A and B are shown apart, each in its own frame.
Chain A
């Protein structure tokens, strides 16, 4: 069966520090991968998605970047965190036709202080 791993579960970082959140998927190949952010009271915002290795689409201009070095690995990064980067980050994956389900990881709570 397919599983998605996301770590760390919580992270506290000072402003200006770098960030690296990792997400890996097991049990499937060539998934579409997504990074979402959930800010308090604002629902889920799509940040990046990837349909293949090295292919990244950015939905919102911001202080973050994403990379997909391997088929089932998706990394969210920042060179210098801002206070506004605080939030709950969720990785998700989907395989198959456009109308397939989207499966989410357990999320990372990032607090930038």
Chain B
């Protein structure tokens, strides 16, 4: 069975600190996709990144970076020099190839204080 675990329920940091959100997934399939979404207080989910299982290259987008490691089934998300606007709930998700089902973790609430 597939599963996504976000063990950190809530993280609080002070502005400009770096913070890493953990995501561990479980699947026996060899082809799959991993996602991160941001849910600000407004509620709707905002797509951040998609990674396919064949591409383990780490990705950086501005202050955001993602570390995908198949050996540990992890897809961690780091925010560098956090800002108050980064405060949100962040979801990690998994989808198997050729399916429409996106399996979400329970989310990590990040609070960045000024």
Chain A residues within 8 Å of B, Cβ to Cβ: 32, 34, 36, 41-46, 49, 51, 57, 59, 88, 90, 92, 94, 98-99, 101-107, 109
Contact = CB atoms under 8 A, between A and B. Distances in A.
A102 B97 contact: no
Contact of B104 (A41, A43, A101, A103): A43
A43 B107 contact: yes
B38 to A, nearest CB: 11
Given A49-B100, A90-B44, A99 B52 contact: yes
Contacts, number: 61
B30 interface: no
A98 B101 CA distance: 10
Contacts of A44: 45, 91, 93, 102, 104, 107
B27 to A, nearest CB: 15
Nearest to B4: A43
**Leading 8 A-B pairs by shortest Cβ distance:** A43-B106, A104-B45, A44-B104, A107-B43, A106-B44, A43-B104, A101-B47, A104-B44
Nearest to B33: A99
B49 to A, nearest CB: 9
Nearest to B92: A43
Contacts of B42: 106
Given A34-B100, A43-B91, A102 B105 contact: no
22 contacts: A34-B100, A34-B102, A36-B104, A42-B106, A43-B6, A46-B103, A49-B101, A57-B100, A59-B101, A90-B45, A92-B45, A94-B100, A98-B33, A98-B97, A101-B47, A102-B102, A103-B47, A104-B44, A104-B45, A104-B46, A107-B43, A109-B43
A107 B39 CA distance: 11
Given A43-B104, A104-B46, A105-B44, 19 more contacts: A34-B100, A34-B102, A36-B104, A41-B9, A43-B105, A43-B106, A44-B102, A45-B104, A46-B101, A46-B102, A46-B103, A51-B100, A88-B43, A98-B98, A98-B99, A99-B52, A101-B50, A102-B102, A107-B43
